[in-house]
A and B are shown apart, each in its own frame.
Chain A
Amino acid sequence: MRIIQFLVRKEFLQIFRNKGMLPIIFIMPVIQLVVLANAANFEIENLKLFFIDKDQSTLSRLLRSKMDGSNYFLLSGFGLSSQDGATALDRNQADLVIEIPSGFEKKLVRENTQKIQLVVNAIDGTKGALANFYALEVISQFNQEIRQDFQAINKVGVSPFNRLQVEYSHWFNPDLNYKTFMVPGILVLLVTMIGAFLSAMNIVREKEIGTIEQLNVTPIKKYQFITGKLLPFLILGLVELTIGFIIAKVVFDIPFVGSIFLIYGFAVIYLTLVLGLGLFISTFTETQQQAMFITWFFLVIFILMGGLFTAIENMPLWAQRITLFNPVRYFIEVVRMVMLKGSGLMDIKWHALIVFLYAVGVNGLAIYRYRKTV
Chain B
Amino acid sequence: MMSTLAVTVDNLIKNYGSQNALKGVSLEVNQGELFGIIGPDGAGKTTLIRILATLLLPDAGQAEVLGMEVEGHYRQIRNRMGYMPGRFSLYQDLTVLENLQLFASIYQTTLEENYHLIKDIYQPLEPFKNRKAGNLSGGMKQKLALSCAMIHEPEILFLDEPTTGVDPVSRNEFWEMLIKLKARGITVLVSTPYMDEADLCDRVALVQEGQILSVDTPVAIISRFPSKLFAIKSTDKYQLIKDLQAYPSTASVFAFGEYLHYTDKRAHSSERAPEQALEQELHQYLQDRGHRDIHIKSIEPTIEDCFMAFMQKEHKWSAP
Contacts and interface: CB of A to CB of B under 8 A. Distances in A.
B90 A211 contact: yes
Given A209-B92, A217-B81, A219-B79, A10 B55 contact: no
Contacts of B94: 10, 13-14, 17
A35 to B, nearest CB: 31
B21 interface: no
A10 B107 contact: no
Given A14-B91, A14-B94, A217-B78, A3 B105 contact: yes
A216 B55 CA distance: 7
A214 B93 CA distance: 15
A3 B106 contact: yes
Interface in A247-293: none
B3 interface: no
B53 interface: yes
Interface in A1-31: 2-3, 6-7, 10, 13-14, 17-18
B98 interface: yes
Interface in A304-343: none
Sorting the interface of chain A by its residue count into under 10, 10 to 19, 20 to 34 or 35 or more gives 20 to 34
Contact of B78 (A13, A14, A219): A219
Q: Is the interface of A mostly helix, strand, loop or mixed?
A: helix
B87 A6 contact: no
Nearest to B98: A13
Nearest to A15: B93
A217 B57 CA distance: 13
Interface residues of B, number: 29
A210 B74 CA distance: 20
A129 B105 CA distance: 65
Q: Is the interface of B mostly helix, strand, loop or mixed?
A: loop
Nearest to A228: B106
B78 A218 contact: yes
Given A6-B102, A14-B94, A374-B56, A214 B85 contact: yes
A9 to B, nearest CB: 8
Given A17-B93, A209-B92, A373 B55 contact: yes
Given A213-B55, A219-B78, A2 B108 contact: yes
A17 B148 CA distance: 21
A2 B74 CA distance: 22
A13 B99 CA distance: 11
Contacts of A220: 106
A184 to B, nearest CB: 36
A148 to B, nearest CB: 75
Interface in A190-212: 209-211
A2 B85 contact: no
Given A18-B93, A213-B85, A218 B98 contact: no
A217 B90 CA distance: 12
Contacts of A215: 106
Interface in B66-89: 74-75, 78-79, 81, 83, 85, 87-89
A259 B178 CA distance: 62
B103 interface: yes
Contact of B98 (A10, A213, A216): A10
B54 interface: yes
Q: In the complex, which of the residues A17, A209, A214, A219 has the most CB atoms of chain B within 10 Å of its own CB atom?
A: A214
A132 to B, nearest CB: 59
B78 A373 contact: no
B93 A10 contact: no
Nearest to A206: B91
B251 to A, nearest CB: 43
Given A214-B89, A217-B55, A3 B108 contact: yes
Contacts of A218: 78, 103, 106-107
Interface string B83-123: 10101111111100010011101111000000000000000
Closest 6 CB pairs of A and B: A6-B105, A214-B89, A210-B89, A217-B83, A219-B78, A218-B106
15 contacts: A3-B105, A6-B105, A7-B102, A10-B98, A13-B93, A14-B93, A18-B93, A209-B92, A210-B87, A214-B148, A218-B78, A219-B79, A219-B106, A219-B107, A373-B54
Interface of A: 2-3, 6-7, 10, 13-14, 17-18, 209-211, 213-220, 373-374
Interface of B: 53-57, 74-75, 78-79, 81, 83, 85, 87-94, 98, 101-103, 105-108, 148
